[in-house]
Chain A
Amino acid sequence: AQSVTQLGSHVSVSEGALVLLRCNYSSSVPPYLFWYVQYPNQGLQLLLKYTSAATLVKGINGFEAEFKKSETSFHLTKPSAHMSDAAEYFCAVTSASGGSYIPTFGRGTSLIVHP
């Protein structure tokens, strides 16, 4: 079964600092990869999706992620954090398992942005 590991349940940064949220997955088959964001009392919203067209994927709100097959990683970055980026971030992976494509989500990383 595939699994997704998000290192660090909480990440704290200062406003203007680099944001780095880590995601590693276990899958022997080239996967679909996603990053979602969840604001309080809301559902999840897609930030970006890896489609195999390019290893560096640009998303909304200045976020981007790099797919590294050799490291089975898909870390999310943003050069400069804003207060509005404070939210819960989820990495998700889908790979074929017995013919089914079931998304598997990581436990989430809470991003805290200090002024």
Chain B
Amino acid sequence: KAGVTQTPRYLIKTRGQQVTLSCSPISGHRSVSWYQQTPGQGLQFLFEYFSETQRNKGNFPGRFSGRQFSNSRSEMNVSTLELGDSALYLCASSLALAGGSEQFFGPGTRLTVL
């Protein structure tokens, strides 16, 4: 069974631009969660989608948004990029809601904001 895939793997943007990251979960998984990983803050939860509905949201500004499609694929969008948005963005999928389930992580998208 194929694992979680994320595209692109690397991205370089400039301040003020917007970016869209994509995540394809494991087949059959209905939950997709997004995390931001930085050396200073560690892994921080962004949001979780389940059956196309946002079920949980972390403490991030409204510039960070996401959506999930009927095939469970998910996208994350960051608008008006700031230098501090430079991070590894991880996507994770699970059969049920992430809180009590094993999550399967993708390799991440490394975003650099110049």
Closest CB in chain A relative to B77 CB, distance in Å: 20
Please classify how large the interface on chain B is, using the bins under 10, 10 to 19, 20 to 34, 35 or more: 20 to 34
Q: Which of A22-45 contact B (CB under 8 A)?
A: 32, 34, 36, 41-45
Point out the residues of chain A lying under 8 angstroms from B98, CB to CB.
94, 101-103
Point out the residues of chain B lying under 8 angstroms from A36, CB to CB.
105
Known contacts: A100-B56, A102-B45, A105-B43. The answer to whether A32 contacts B107 by CB under 8 A is no
Point out the residues of chain A lying under 8 angstroms from B107, CB to CB.
41-43
Residue B27 CB within 8 A of the other chain: no
- Interface secondary structure of A, over-half rule: strand
Interface string of B17-53 (1 = CB under 8 A from A): 0000000000000000101000000111100100000
A101 CA to B33 CA in the complex, in Å?
A: 12
Residue B100 CB within 8 A of the other chain: yes
Are A43's CB and B45's CB within 8 A?
no
Please tell me which one of the listed residues B42, B56, B92 contacts residue A106 in the complex, with CB atoms under 8 A apart: B42
Closest CB in chain A relative to B22 CB, distance in Å: 15
Contacts A42-B107, A100-B55 given; 14 further ones with Cβ under 8 A? A43-B90, A43-B92, A43-B108, A44-B103, A46-B103, A46-B104, A90-B42, A94-B99, A96-B99, A101-B99, A102-B99, A103-B103, A107-B42, A108-B43
